[in-house]
Chains A and B, each alone.
Chain A
Amino acid sequence: MLVDLGHLGLDEGAHIIVKHAIEQLEPGAALDICGTHAELRVHLRAWGRARGHGYEDRDADGAVARLTRGTAAGAARRNSEPAGHASPAVAGAVVDRPPGHWGVAPRGAQVELGGPDPFFPLDDKAHVWADEAPRLYAQAAANQWDPATAIEWATPLVNDELVETAVIQVMTYLIENEVAALVVPARFIAQVHSHFREVMQLLSIQVADEARHIEAFTRRAMLSGRPLGLSTVGGRQSLQTLIDEPDFAISAFLLSVLGEGTFLSLLSFLETHAPDPTTRRVAQLALQDEARHVAFGIAHLRVQLDAEPDLRARLVAAVERRHDALAQTGGLNDEVYDALVLLPQVHLIPLQSPQAGTACKGSRTTWTSVAAAVSRALASPLRRPRRSPLSTPATSCRAPASVSAGRSRPFLCYSMRIYAHPITQERFAGQGLHRGRS
């Protein structure tokens, strides 16, 4: 075979032509080269020697040099194996137990044998994969929002001090929960074999989602210039049990199914009932992200339970273990519970105001469902919903409401009952105030 390089030198890319030609030959076969580059022979000798090809000068049949193909060329490809298929839609694309020596090679690549053999704790498809992972990752990537522009931060805040303090308290609670929700998947990302790239990607974008939520909740909390609220020991102990859970399946269940599932209720409540549009918008954006996290958690759990029926018992044990660990704590933040009650209110109005006194009509069902949502929003699997006159269906609005208006009516009844209850009467004693919406 003869290759004519013309004036092109090996320092200008001609080696690609030579390489392509010689790799089509069998070991021991000859490749003649002709060309006019001044250093062609010098460079061909060096290039050939480095690749295990024989070299000799030529001056016949137009050739200036001859390379004899060695045995080393192509060794990497000869000694390689396929690592599944890049597209998860192809049958057999995702293998059950990818070997460690595939390392960070992309799924679908031809992997040269040899090299590092890292240990991936999460290398079993049955424990890691969910078929929804590719779709959920694509959805997440397409729905990343910018906290700086997706929220109208310049919208004036008109919350009175009590309500704004309540918003800040809720934001404080949300921030620490999102920190835990960031840390937990972050711990597992590096443990997942990169063969399951969509799971790795999904966990990574989940971490990015939570970072964005931390930023947005913090910014909302700081909007009025007041300090952040109370972070309780009980709350942090609860979150620490999530962070300390070493098993991926149990962690995904506790965080993404139970924890973030609960968060969906809370954020939905805030999206609807927060007192100002900025808070409602922040909650709305976080809600759409958390819904994806829960979707993966549930999809993953479904696969796990199919593969390992005994997992159910381990999940129960994990919940009970968490309960025991938190049994001696003071529970979740009372300030947060109270803040959620205060959030829908706009301002306090005097009890003697002519605006008080409108009858409350037919609001019991709506009030009950909303009050129950408040309780559910913070109910952990370990605690019963709070039992108080404020949150049971038995409580109804018998006292005259202040001003009636659309969706605010249920909360007016709620607030009236709060004022009427002996505990809250004590709390608001001396204020002579009655809360409602004008």
Chain B
Amino acid sequence: MAGDVDAACMIDGNHLLFGREGTFPPGTTKVIGQTGAYDHCNFTVIGDPRAPKIERFVSLLLGMSYDDPEVRPLLDLEGLKQWRVGRIELYAPLERAVDEFAFYDADGNVVAADYQP
């Protein structure tokens, strides 16, 4: 709120959080645009996904219930409520955005000039 920037991109959950904790006093910001939903995280395997160990791993993940007291803390660590079957369709918006901003090159190297880890 120091007036150093006019606009920023952030996750919708963070905008709500900043408002609730007081970082953004109510009514001081305005959402001017919103992307569609996209995915950003999954388990990726190398090799045959039908291999017994992989199938067993998927079965275990999908079988995790938020009601299980042993599992709930683990899901909470990731901010999850349940695992779902993998999909790649909703990476397309993320991929388009990364290309538009020239963040990575074709080999996956970070080339954004002003990026700081």
Contacts and interface: CB of A to CB of B under 8 A. Distances in A.
Interface string A25-69: 000000000000011001101110111100000000000000000
B96 interface: no
B56 interface: no
A42 B24 contact: no
A46 B12 contact: yes
A11 B26 contact: yes
A12 interface: yes
Interface of B: 11-13, 15-16, 19-20, 24, 26, 30-31, 34, 66-70, 72-73, 79, 81-82
A113 B30 CA distance: 41
A50 B66 CA distance: 13
Given A9-B19, A39-B19, 9 more contacts: A10-B16, A39-B30, A42-B15, A43-B19, A52-B82, A71-B67, A75-B66, A76-B72, A79-B72
B20 A11 contact: yes
A70 interface: yes
Q: How large is the interface on A (under 10, 10 to 19, 20 to 34, 35 or more residues)?
A: 20 to 34
A244 B13 CA distance: 55
Given A11-B20, A70-B81, A50 B73 contact: no
A72 B82 CA distance: 8
B19 A72 contact: no
21 contacts: A9-B26, A10-B19, A11-B19, A38-B30, A39-B15, A39-B16, A39-B19, A42-B16, A42-B31, A43-B19, A45-B12, A46-B12, A46-B15, A50-B79, A51-B81, A72-B81, A75-B66, A75-B72, A79-B67, A114-B72, A114-B73
B25 to A, nearest CB: 9
A363 B117 CA distance: 91
Contact of A52 (B12, B31, B66, B69): B66
A288 B69 CA distance: 48
Interface of A: 9-12, 15, 38-39, 42-43, 45-47, 49-52, 70-72, 75-76, 78-79, 112-115
A112 B69 CA distance: 8
B81 A52 contact: yes
B20 to A, nearest CB: 5
A11 B24 contact: yes
B26 A12 contact: yes
B109 to A, nearest CB: 32
Nearest to B21: A11
B93 to A, nearest CB: 15
B73 to A, nearest CB: 6
Contacts of A10: 16, 19-20
A43 B12 contact: yes
A114 B28 CA distance: 41
A115 B68 CA distance: 11
Contact of A113 (B16, B66, B69, B82): B69
A72 B67 CA distance: 7
A11, A45, A75, A113, most chain B CB atoms within 10 A: A11
A51 B79 CA distance: 9
Contacts of A114: 69-70, 72-73
A109 B61 CA distance: 32
B69 A39 contact: no
Contacts of B72: 75-76, 79, 114
A43 B73 CA distance: 25
B13 A49 contact: yes
Contacts of B16: 10-11, 39, 42-43, 46-47
Contacts of B13: 46-47, 49-50
A43 to B, nearest CB: 5
B115 to A, nearest CB: 26
A373 to B, nearest CB: 60
A290 B31 CA distance: 66
